[in-house]
Amino acid sequence: MASEIIRQIADYLIAAEVDKREVVKVTSKIKPDLTVEEAYEAQELLVQKKLDEGKRIVGPKMGLTSKAKWDQMGVSEPIYGYIFDYMLIDNGGALPYSELIHPKVEAEIAFVIGEDIEGPGITGAQVLAKTEYVLPALEIIDSRYENFNFTHTDVIADNTSASRVVFGNTLKKPSEFDLELVGSTLSINGKIRELGTGAAVLGHPANAIAVLANMLARKGERILKGDIILSGAITSAVLLNVGDFVSAKFDGLGEVTFTVTE
């Protein structure tokens, strides 16, 4: 059973999302010495509360998947959270700004898992062998914390800033690509703002999924067949404003778009 402090953290962050208001980070407001283990406990409780409300998990999402981010945050591995069905936006659809706090967007490659993947010791090659499809995606992150100001453990507890996702319509077999070479451009209102390749994600996006499988194995859990997993950002995140038309183009995987409405 979760401790009172863990329940307090989960309720604090859920209320911030529901009320669409930014809050002071947990490590300043509630528990300055929040550990990674406690942060994941708070995230698990937050996730369970959403499940109890009837929301459905689409799949995990990876964060902090670049070595530069590790150095910036003082960590030695990525983090993970979960995407829910209520977070999905149709390709070409609308993102109502009023539903969020201070959203940012980044381009990613998503994996559709064809078989359960259970660690430890999973490699990127094993992930690829068990991946049914890859597809392009735009993730909209929306930290519940003031000015996106958080520590490593704060963002874990906040379900890694998960907010909204737009999946592309192009499903391809991973064997058709060198995913580390797939390039993406992220444009706002027709102007390219960011670009990158799959190699930005731990050298190869499948490596991020392998890390996830091995992290889950520590808790006796595994990646499930049917999961759609966001492997991590190819591009840096760009702050969004009402009226923005957002487009990401991926080599061989097509285009993903949405418009920010009021």
Measured CA to CA, the distance from residue 88 to residue 82 in angstroms comes to: 12
Of the chain, the percentage scoring pLDDT greater than 90 comes to 95
pLDDT at 196 over 70: yes
pLDDT tens figures, 2-52: 799 999 999 999 999 999 999 999 999 999 999 999 999 999 999 999 999
pLDDT attached to residue 203: 96
pLDDT tens figures, 210-258: 999 999 999 999 999 999 999 999 999 999 999 999 999 999 999 999 9
Side chain identity, residue 190: G
Mean pLDDT across the chain: 96
Strands (E), 142-206: 162-167, 183-188, 191-197
- CA 91 to chain CA centroid, Å, is 17
pTM of the model: 0.96
Q: Which of 201, 190, 176 is nearest to 253 (CA)?
A: 176
Q: How far is CA 22 from CA 9, 17, 18, 164, 181, in A?
A: 14, 8, 11, 17, 37
Domain spanning 4-261: which superfamily?
Fumarylacetoacetase-like, C-terminal domain (3.90.850.10)
Rounded mean pLDDT of 63-90?
89
Confidence category of residue 1, pLDDT binned at 50, 70, 90: low
pLDDT at 86 over 70: yes
pLDDT tens figures, 51-70: 999 999 999 999 999 877 77
Q: Which of 189, 224, 252, 22 is nearest to 118 (CA)?
A: 224
